[in-house]
Amino acid sequence: MVIDSQKMKSLAEATSREDVAGRSLWADARRRFFRNKAAMFGLVLLVFVTLFALFGNSIAQWSNEEIDFSVMGMVAEQGGPSLANGHYFGTDDLGRDLFARTVQGTQISLAVGIIGSAIAVIVGTIYGATAGYFGGRLDNLMMRAVDILLAIPYMFVLILLLVMYGRSITMLFVGVGLISWLEMSRIVRGQTLTLKGREYIEAARAIGVPAPVIIRRHILPNLIGVVTVFATLLVPNMILTESFISFLGLGVQEPMTSLGALISEGSGTISYGTLWQLAFPLLFFVLTLFGFFFVGDGLRDALDPKDR
């Protein structure tokens, strides 16, 4: 059979055009997000910080463990930032390259933030959606448990855990993950409760769709907006938690480091006139937090246009 190739082409174009023509909720949100100057600024910051964390090591002239013996002991005079000897950000108090250490600190901080947030997304969403969907006594029980856990001064418990079971990065992830999902599960439950009353859920139930399938196919996709926004805003909070613990010297252990640990070291030595030891880690810390806050706020505005 001879097919008019011209017609086929036009049909193909038409179907593909049809995709573009209808603007979905997501396309709308995307448009609003990219028009938001603060959010775009935040996104640029995040891209910069991520690139720094991923590729910073290939620019670094020193590793994070090497001690530069030519500056050791005279860090205040010779350890400052300089292009000549390859210490772009100067050296730390022991003569280690601060650039490489800041790269590593940024990596660890980002990792803790993103993993903590990911745990919150997985556990919090499943927990909150289950409690909200089934409701009744189960919901009451599950949410009381969250209330009780939220009332515990978690930072103290986390420090208790770190002291008693050794200061390791795994323990830090476990500790941060244990607490991060609580708030998320509350938000997801609230959203699920409102979704549950919608007609399409009722329709799905009426034709006998089993509960897990309803949750997976009809509830979870509608939670994406809330969860994304909250997860984005959770990342900087996780980074703050980790930095707090590392500042106390209970977080990641040498030779590994995180931004909190670097800020702690830097602020301990400012009286010797080595301001760069505080300034560079602090700069990346602030840039990262700014980035996540702006992007999170931008996402919220984009997904919920009436809340402005």
Partner 1 sequence: MKFPRPPIGTPHMIVYILKRLAIAIPTLLLLIIFSFLLMHAAPGGPFTQERELPAQVLANLNAKYGLDQPLWKQIVSYIWGIVAHFDFGPSFVYKDRTVNEIIAQGFPVTLTYGFVSFLVAVVAGVTLGAVAAVKHNTIIDYFAVGVSIGAQVLPNFVMAPILVIVFTLILGWLPGGGWRFSDPSYWIMPVIALSTSYMASIARIMRSSMLEVLNSNHIRTARAKGLPAHRVILRHALKPALLPVISYLGPAFVSMITGSVIVDIYFSTGGIGKAFVDSALNRDYAVMMGVTILVGALTILFNLVVDIVYGWIDPKIRY
264 sits near partner 1 (criterion: CB under 8 A): yes
The alpha carbon of 23 is separated from its chain's Cα centroid by a whole number of angstroms, namely 29
| Minimum gap (Å) between residue 118 Cβ and partner 1 | 22
Cα(114)–Cα(287) distance, integer angstroms: 16
59 sits near partner 1 (criterion: CB under 8 A): no
Nearer to partner 1, 26 or 165 (CB): 165
Nearer to partner 1, 115 or 145 (CB): 145
Pick the binder of partner 1 from 240, 253, 256, 304 (CB under 8 A): 240
Pick the binder of partner 1 from 41, 48, 134, 244 (CB under 8 A): 244
141 sits near partner 1 (criterion: CB under 8 A): no
Number of residues that bind partner 1 (CB under 8 A): 37
Of 291, 214, 297, the closest CA to residue 44 belongs to 291
Query: Which tokens go with 208?
Result: 């006998």
Nearer to partner 1, 220 or 282 (CB): 282
Contacts of 180 (CB under 8 A, 6+ apart): 116, 117, 119, 120, 124, 234, 237, 238
151 sits near partner 1 (criterion: CB under 8 A): yes
Query: Which tokens go with 152?
Result: 């515990």
Cα(210)–Cα(232) distance, integer angstroms: 32
| Minimum gap (Å) between residue 169 Cβ and partner 1 | 18
159 within 8 A of 247, measured Cβ to Cβ = no
99 within 8 A of 60, measured Cβ to Cβ = yes
Cα(293)–Cα(299) distance, integer angstroms: 10
160-189 binders of partner 1 (CB under 8 A): 160-161, 163-165
Query: Which tokens go with 55?
Result: 């590729």
What residues line the site for partner 1 (CB under 8 A)? 144, 147-148, 151-153, 155-157, 159-161, 163-165, 236, 240, 243-244, 247-248, 250, 260, 263-264, 266-267, 270-271, 275, 278, 282, 285-286, 289-290, 293
